[in-house]
Amino acid sequence: MLETLKKVFGFEKFLPHQETIIRKIMDGNDVFVVLPTGGGKSLCYQLPAKILSGTVVVISPLISLMKDQVDAARENGISASYLNSSLCREEKEEVYFNFRKGDLELLYIAPERFAMEHFLEELKTVPVSLFAVDEAHCISEWGHDFRPDYLSLKDITAYFPDIPLAAFTATATLKVQNDIIKKIGLRKPFVVRASFNRQNLFYQVKRKEQVSGQILDFISEHENESGIVYRTTRDSVIKLADFLSSRGVRAVPYHAGMSLEDRKRNQETFNRDETDIIVATIAFGMGIDKSNVRFVVHADLPKNIEGYYQETGRAGRDGEPAQCLLFFGRGDIPRLRYFIEKITGEQEHKVAEEKLYSVVRYASHNVCRRRQLLDYFGEEYPDENCGACDICTDIAEKTDITIDAQIVMSAMVRTGQRFGIRYIIDIICGAGTKRIRDLHHDTIKTYGAGKDRDKYFWHFVVDELLAQEIIYQDGDKYPVLKLTGKGTALLKGEEKLFALKRDARKKKAPSREKDGFAPGDEKLFERLRAHRKLLAEDHNIPPFIIFSDRSLNEMCRYYPVTLPDMKNINGVGDTKLEQYGRQFIDEIKAYLEENPDVRPKPVPEEQSFFPDTALKQKRKKGETIQKTRELFSKGLSLKQIAKERGLAMTTISGHFERMILNGEDIDVDRLVDPGKQDKIKNHFLTLNTLKLTPVVERSGGTISYVEAKIVRALLEKK
């Protein structure tokens, strides 16, 4: 598993939970996994695809995403294909042919295809090692994105009782989780519910005013960065995309009313960095696997927290810092309530209202954004200050609303705490309604006490009181406002109340360097980014599939100028190293020659994908190679050293490769049989290459990658 992780995907260590999930799958168990976006769900079924005998069948609802997923898998050396309605008949026949031959390690299909009887019969004739259901929340009616076609997946365990089934999702409350397990028919599944905390995301809410201009200002601070802007309606998508384009921003629209060809074209231009911004409707599920999205903007209030979390999760999939900005205006609430009122089922209506209230609470509550999101999914955030949201970093300015809150609560008490929000606000604003006159509430002290402010302001105060649990709503159909214990203390003047200022000054998000997200050499990054784009055009794939922004940023921090150094960059597996390693090394060498004042740092030889551990757990220069050297001098073989140190064979062979290139006197005969060395050298010379794969393949599997790497180092030294 560890060798495959490093060799195929270019990572030294698993992310949290990945190793356990993969082991359970390989033992033949069903699993249910909730991992946040960026948590490495796809690796949990792609890595077994390289090890298990048979094809891993992945069921995904996002047809527009499948091609990117397959391209990314192929770039890592995995034989993968997909079957969906976008393929012509000849292309489908070719996929079926390869599938029947057993040449596919990974096959992506849509849920509708699984429901086709002829496809089910086809599946029964081909060795399948695993069924993986992606976006599993789509099977639950309690989720935010229910899809009826997913219900057919309940037949998987009936038709294929001996094949493990794994279900993955990034967003699921406990209620949704239990519903998925039941409906999909998982058999005593191993359940993983990872943290929903995306530490690389910065959450911010701003007051919505002239939102098109506000978005333009924000984008101007993120020049040449990829971003997604969500709008509620198709019309607003088109208008905003046109507005941004007229101001020189490379922006395209994306919504359900467009033709399939136009949607596909716009997504392709976004994936290939030919446009910076894509403006999309919230309601339409845009399949996006682009890892270098640096910001997600919600120009309108989302309908629920699950959707908001999933949409913001499309930012920073590579683990690098990204921003999530929500523009909140109370004018959005009536629009969303309008759609809720059209819901006929009483229970569905209640659920929709509760979900809307959760979003309003998130946007207006004077409490850490991260804490609120995690709380919604049943997770407690342990720290007082997350350091990565506008509340915790004081970007959102606060204002004292104690007196305003006391006016609201006084009106509640003087009317016996028997009325709802609208009625209390009418009293405060001095409305001359018949009901107020009939109940003589126009005579109480707080009648008209807030008439100098509009009703939107008083709704803001009431929402803040509810959010901070100063007051609460009692009753279902016609809820009335009542004080909590905290409210009584505030009304007596024993406490003060602060809310988010409605006209906060324009402030930028703080640097995340202190959190371990260290920036790299920006000039080199732009150079490598441009080179990546040229390579992507040559290979007809999106640039992020070649190397993620995280990989480029590491190159810009450590300046790898040898293949072993490049191998230690996260995300650089054997296939990518052979295809692109030397080209990026040449770019870095040229940059260093042009900038002699730049002093490269040593490349860390073992890294974790998470930036906090990657940067805090660096070993001293040469320390890990020294340990390998010491064990070798004691007579241990390469395999024994790997076992002793708990590292992959590829890592240890990389240590020996570096020692040889550095001119150290290494007894190579102990690593590779002398007769075999000559054979391997002849293969390299005959093929006129220094790539490992052609040599290994030419040998018919009698030569390992480790052996080829050691001998290649001898040749390179000469």
Map out the domains of the chain with their CATH numbers.
2-193 (3.40.50.300), 201-376 (3.40.50.300), 405-500 (1.10.10.10), 518-617 (1.10.150.80), 619-718 (1.10.10.1390)
Coil, strand, or helix at residue 671?
Answer: coil
Please give the distance of CA 81 from its chain centroid, rounded to a whole number: 23
pLDDT at position 299: 95
Average confidence (pLDDT) over 30-56: 90
Rounded Cα gap, residues 83 and 64, in angstroms: 12
- 183-205 tens-digit pLDDT: 988 999 999 998 889 889 999 99
**Position 228, amino acid:** I
C-beta separation of 133 from 168 below 8 A: yes
Average confidence (pLDDT) over 591-620: 57
Coil, strand, or helix at residue 186?
Answer: coil
Q: Is the dihedral angle over the CA atoms 613, 619, 620, 625 positive or is it negative?
A: negative
Which residue is listed with tokens 């992507």?
Answer: 536
Rounded Cα gap, residues 2 and 23, in angstroms: 12
Least-confidence region, from 48-57, 203-212, 341-350:
341-350
Rounded Cα gap, residues 366 and 361, in angstroms: 9
CB atoms near residue 207 (< 10 Å): 17
Q: How many residues make up the chain in this entry?
A: 718
**pLDDT band, very low/low/confident/very high, at 614 (cuts 50, 70, 90):** very low
Least-confidence region, from 198-202, 432-436, 496-500:
496-500
pLDDT at position 648: 61
- 70-119 tens-digit pLDDT: 888 998 889 999 998 888 888 889 998 999 888 899 999 988 888 788 88
**Position 171, amino acid:** T
CB atoms near residue 536 (< 10 Å): 19
Rounded Cα gap, residues 598 and 590, in angstroms: 12
| Closest to 368 in 3D by CA, of 341, 348, 386 | 386
pLDDT at position 657: 84
pLDDT at position 502: 47
Max mean pLDDT range (147-151, 168-172, 586-590, 642-646): 586-590
pLDDT at position 89: 87
Average confidence (pLDDT) over 546-569: 90
pLDDT at position 457: 86
Higher confidence at residue 40 or residue 132?
A: 132
Beta bridge mates, 231: 281
**Residue percentage of the chain with pLDDT more than 70:** 90
**Position 212, amino acid:** S
Q: Would you say residue 296 has pLDDT above 60?
A: yes
pLDDT at position 397: 66
pLDDT at position 618: 37
Average confidence (pLDDT) over 363-391: 86
C-beta separation of 364 from 468 below 8 A: no
Helix H or strand E encompassing 129 = strand 128-133
